[in-house]
Amino acid sequence: MFTHSFALLISLLAIIISSKKAPLNKTFGYYRAEVLAAFINGLTIILSIAWIIYEAVERFLNPNIIDIKTAMIVAIIGLIINIITGFILMKGDKNNVNLKSAFIHMLSDALSSVAIIIGYVIIYYTSWYFIDIILAVIVSIVIAKWAIDILRSSINTLMETSPLDITEVKEFIERNKNIIEIHDVHIWEITQDMYNMTAHVKIDKNHLDNYEELLHHLNHDLKEKYKIVHTTFQFEW
Ligand SMILES: [Zn+2]
Ligand SMILES: [Zn+2]
Ligand SMILES: [Zn+2]
């Protein structure tokens, strides 16, 4: 429950910060706050896996301590809270990595609650105490997969990995007959759907008078086709 509110708080803070107007020296704005939040939420989900396993082992080692009926009620209340928050989060933008990380957190909590409830029911009727550990391992594998997805996409953005296929964009630009080739290409994502690009563009010397029109077309085409909203090109000949 503690990590539950923590994940929501981190995501909410990130939404507030990223919508703030950034001071002059923060030239890329505060947009990355949401990517950082997703990264932190991804990490805490991974940490919660250790907790899930620890709790299952603890229940297995001290089976007499648990009062199954009370534990069931706690698990069911937890599940209901998770489902409600999950539904609220589902209304948000599905491509937003920050909201997605909070949603995955809720989903992970819900899944472990379901596993605990199923475990209790099985233990209640069969006294198979080991079932708890088996379920915890299955849940952990599923949750780890979700968390790794979140971590991978947030790390890619933080490491300035190109969200587009560099070779494809290069070939697309070089299809223009006035452009000989482009090099030193950088494409990065500031935050979701906000792509930037810089490159050196070698142009045909004989068509230098077309320079302005060429630049205009280049920017227009890249925005239309690849959603690259900001470019800086250095022309060479
Ligand atoms: Zn460069
Ligand atoms: Zn160059
Ligand atoms: Zn500019």
Domain spanning 2-158: which CATH class is it, in words?
mainly alpha
* Ligand lying closest to the C-alpha of residue 237: 2
Domain spanning 166-236: which CATH class is it, in words?
alpha beta
Q: Spell out, as residue ranges, where the chain has pLDDT lower than 50.
A: none
Expressed in angstroms and rounded, the spacing between residue 196 Cα and the centre of ligand 3 is: 10
Surrounding ion ligand 2 within 5 Å at CB are 200
Predicted confidence at residue 56, as pLDDT, reads 86
Looking at the chain, the domain(s) classified CATH 1.20.1510.10 span: 2-158
Looking at the chain, the domain(s) classified CATH 3.30.70.1350 span: 166-236
Expressed in angstroms and rounded, the spacing between residue 79 Cα and the centre of ligand 2 is: 57
Per DSSP, helices labelled H in the chain are: 2-18, 33-61, 68-90, 97-126, 131-158, 166-174, 211-226
Surrounding ion ligand 1 within 5 Å at CB are 184
Expressed in angstroms and rounded, the spacing between residue 174 Cα and the centre of ligand 1 is: 18
Expressed in angstroms and rounded, the spacing between residue 230 Cα and the centre of ligand 3 is: 6
What token pair was written down for 162?
């190109």
ipTM, two decimals, is: 0.72
Q: What is the pLDDT of the chain when averaged over all its residues?
A: 90
pLDDT digits 0-9 by tens, 116-160: 889 888 988 888 888 989 999 999 999 999 999 999 999 999 999
